[in-house]
Amino acid sequence: MSCIFYLASLILLLDTKMRLDLYNNSSYNTGAGILKRLLWFIVNVLFFQNPLNLSSGLKVLLLRIFGAKVGNGVNIKPSVNIKYPWLLEIGNHVWIGECVWIDNLVKITIGNHVCLSQGAMLLTGSHDYKSSRFELITKEIVLEDGVWIGAKSIVCPGIVCKTHSILAVNSVATQHMDEYGIYQGNPALWKRQRVITDLV
């Protein structure tokens, strides 16, 4: 009996395959109509993904026009890609480095004094690998005050980086990061405590 059950399970496994032709994300809501998304696509290409170092003040103004909540003293470098500004909240004195990709299919909240170094990626979307239809999964990201995301590092969907935590260069955050913790690797693991020695 167990042999028959094993063979049936094996046949079922062999018959289960990825079916991208059945992929359907019609239940996903971008939070904006097609015209707004088209206008943002053009603005994003001209003013944000542009390799020229255009004024951060202009970029902040454009983000606010498109519904982002943006604080004061925000510095946005060239070649930044932002998916949907109406799903973005940025605090005061935030630095966003060259080639940062904010892929916010759902809300991303960035606190005060946060630094996103060159090539960092904030990814709110993934796919269900257990589903033959490769269904879309989205989860919000929160970067609390004083967080530093190192160059070419990735924050995965649903992650909360607690206050003043650091994700080291070329690391991948797949779990929440504790406050003042320094994390490194893929997946990123706690390495040591962040100690700020000079008091302002």
* CATH number, domain with residue 177: 2.160.10.10
pLDDT for the residue 67: 98
Whole-number pLDDT of residue 178: 98
In a domain, 159, yes or no: yes
Q: How confident is the model at residue 95 (pLDDT cuts 50, 70, 90)?
A: very high
Residue at 25 is within a domain: no
pLDDT band at 147 (very low <50, low <70, confident <90, very high): very high
**pLDDT tens digits for range 156-166:** 999 999 999 99
pLDDT at 17: 85
Say yes or no to pLDDT of 13 above 60: no
pLDDT, tens only, 102-146: 999 999 999 999 999 999 999 999 999 999 899 999 999 999 999
Structural domain includes residue 22:
no
Kindly report the pTM of this predicted structure.
0.90
Label residue 199 by pLDDT band (50, 70, 90). confident
Q: How many domains does the chain have?
A: 1
Averaged pLDDT, 14-26: 83
Identify whether 42 is part of a domain: yes
> Is residue 126, in this structure, part of any structural domain at all?
yes
- The tens digit of pLDDT for each residue in 23-75 reads 998 889 999 999 999 999 999 999 999 999 899 999 999 999 999 999 999 99
Mean per-residue pLDDT of the chain: 93
95 domain residue, yes or no:
yes
Residue 13 lies in a domain: no
CB of 104 within 8 A of CB of 82? Answer: yes
- Let me know if residue 24 belongs to a domain: no
Q: Write down the pLDDT at residue 16.
A: 74
DSSP string, the chain: -HHHHHHHHHHHHHH----GGG---TT---SS-HHHHHHHHHHIIIIIS-SS---HHHHHHHHHHTT-EE-SS-EE-SS-EES-GGGEEE-SS-EE-TT-EEE-SS-EEE-TT-EE-TT-EEE-EEE-TTSTT--EEE--EEE-TT-EE-TT-EE-TT-EE-TT-EE-TT-EE-S-B-TTEEEEETTEEEEEE-------
Kindly tell me if the per-residue pLDDT of 4 is higher than 70: no
Q: What is the predicted pLDDT for the residue at 164?
A: 98
Q: Is the pLDDT of residue 14 over 80?
A: no
Top pLDDT among 40 and 13 is at 40
- pLDDT tops 80 at residue 12: no
Its domain, for residue 60, covers 32-193
d(CA 44, CA 196): 36
